[in-house]
Structure 1
Amino acid sequence: MALHSKLNLGLALAGLAIASPSFAKTQPLSAAPPPKIFSDVIQCRAIADAAQRLACFDQNVGALAAAQQNRDLFVADKDAMREARRGLFGFSLPKMRIFADDDMEKAVDQIETTITAAVPGQRGYIFTLKDGARWAQTDGAYMDRPKAGSPIKIKRAALGSFFGTIGSQPGFRIERLGN
């Protein structure tokens, strides 16, 4: 087999390994390098000459600021990322590199918030929560009409479903509709 063919075969096998679910489970998502525009700023520290180092920082920080202003780069701290994960609670999403930090790897298992509106739906009530998220009751279980301002707790249940409780009323099945 020619070297070129062996190389192509090796690359194809490596691509399959990376794409396979078992590989995805064993490789930490946070192992991915930072964006080049960020690395360029960090590399300026290695320049010994002060004037050249300052010129490097000026150029690359300017590019970094422009990328953020143009919405090509987003900067968020851990608190903002946790809030984003909380806002996505109830949606089935693939693992994303933006949530790969070790202490953020744990999924959000429940939320506690406030109802801002509740209207009758096909199988119960449709709830709008304080953050704008919409959830629908799915089991048709009877409950007193929830009022705006009522606290609600929604937690993960079996097989990807969710279970809600409002105050001391019996619990009910619920699903995320979106915002």
Structure 2
Amino acid sequence: MKALLPLAVLALAGTSLAAADAPPAARPYTALQACRAIADPAQRLACYDSAAAALDTATKNQDVVIVDRQEVKKARKGLFGFNLPRIGFLAGREGNVDDQADEQTLDDTVASARPLPYGKWRITLTTGGVWETVEVDSRFTDPRPGMAVNLTKGAMGNYFLKVAKGRAISARRIG
């Protein structure tokens, strides 16, 4: 048994060395993953117990935040139209068709709308986004609460807003 103690210490030290290469927020998870490589069941269990406790502590201290796919989609939907840097989980995964589609369109509902001077509109969506139309078109459907809205990302940072089945016109997010 005394011969196994140095091996356990070396295994746990190797685990923390592997985790040290990871970014600070990812270290508890990386340490947990590293436990899989330990062959001895008793050492692997000790490693898992230690790493799980560290992950639990990091989660309670909010050094690590765990979110599910639905929360990420909701956050992306709420940020649609803002020009933000590509940040971690909000950036999506390369090649994921669902993520690419989410970044190009947004279907929502009008929460409130008010006319602005020169025939433009300010529209608040149920997700909280506030949009203003940039152009005027007599064929644009005047928005009312409860009406469906479709926003589509255009070229060069432009967005097109369509209310119900009306004509799409240029819009920009202001809040």
Give the structure-1-normalised TM-score.
0.69
1:43-122 alignment, distance < 5 Å: 43-98=34-89, 99-102=91-94, 103=96, 106=100, 108-122=103-117
Give the letter for the 1:148 counterpart.
P
1:1-179 alignment, distance < 5 Å: 35-98=26-89, 99-102=91-94, 103=96, 106=100, 108-122=103-117, 124-142=120-138, 143=140, 145-178=142-175
Aligned residues: 147
- What RMSD over aligned residues (CA atoms) do the two structures have, in Å? 2.5
Question: Aligned equivalents of 2:130 and 2:80: distance in 1?
Answer: 11
Partners of 2:115 and 2:121 within 8 A in 1? yes
Return 102-111 or 53-62, whichever deviates more.
102-111
Question: Aligned equivalents of 2:56 and 2:162: distance in 1?
Answer: 45
Question: Aligned equivalents of 2:50 and 2:117: distance in 1?
Answer: 58
4+ residue segments displaced more than 3 Å: 77-80, 140-145
Give the structure-2-normalised TM-score.
0.71
Any stretches of 5+ residues in structure 1 without a counterpart?
Answer: 1-32
